[in-house]
Structure 1
Amino acid sequence: MLRLNHHVELPDHEIEITQIRAQGAGGQNVNKVASAVHLRFDISASSLPPFYKERLLAFSDQRITKEGVVVIKAQSHRTFEQNREDALARLKALILEAVKTRKARKPTKPTRASQRKRMDRKTKKGQTKALRSKVKP
Structure 2
Amino acid sequence: MADQLRVTDRVSIPAGELSWRFSRSSGPGGQGVNTADSRVELSWDLDASTALPDQLKARARQRLGHRLVGGVLTIAASEHRAQLRNREAAEARLAALVADAIKPPPPPRRPTRPSKGAKERRIAAKKRRGEIKRLRRPDDS
Normalised to the residue count of structure 1, the TM-score between the two structures is: 0.64
Name the CA distance, whole Å, in 2 between partners of 1:53 and 1:90: 18
1:57 is matched with: 61
**1:6 is matched with which residue?**
9
Report the counterpart of residue 121 of structure 2 in structure 1: none
TM-aligned CA distance change 1:103 to 1:88, over 3 Å: same
| Runs of 5+ consecutive residues of structure 2 not aligned to the other structure | 118-141
Question: What is the identity, as a one-letter code, of the residue corresponding to 2:20?
Answer: I
**Alpha carbons 2:25, 2:78 under 8 Å: kept:** no
SS in 2 for 1:76: coil
Judge conservation of contact 2:40–2:87 (CA < 8 Å) in 1. Answer: yes
Cα 1:23–1:74 change in 2 (3 A) is closer
Structure 1 CA distance, aligned partners of 2:109 and 2:63?
A: 27
Greater Rg, structure 1 or structure 2? 1
Q: Percent identity?
A: 35
SS in 2 for 1:5: coil
**Equivalents in 2 of 1:13, 1:89: separation in Å?**
17
* Alpha carbons of structure 1 residues 102 and 75: separation in structure 2 relative to 1, 3 Å: same
Mapping of residues 35-46 of structure 1, within 5 Å = 35-46=38-49
Write the letter of the residue equivalent to 2:82: T
Q: Any gaps of 5 or more consecutive residues in structure 1?
A: 108-113, 118-137
Task: Provide the rounded CA distance (Å) in 1 between the counterparts of 2:30 and 2:81.
Answer: 16
- 2:134 corresponds to which residue? none
Label 1:23 to 1:82 Cα distance change in 2 as closer, same or farther (>3 A): closer
Q: 2:105 maps to which residue? A: 102
Partner of 1:79: 82
Please state if 1:15 is matched with 2:18: yes
Residues 32 and 77 in structure 1, CA contact (< 8 A), matched pair in contact too: no
Q: Which amino acid is the alignment partner of residue 100 of structure 1? A: K
Report the aligned-residue RMSD: 3.0
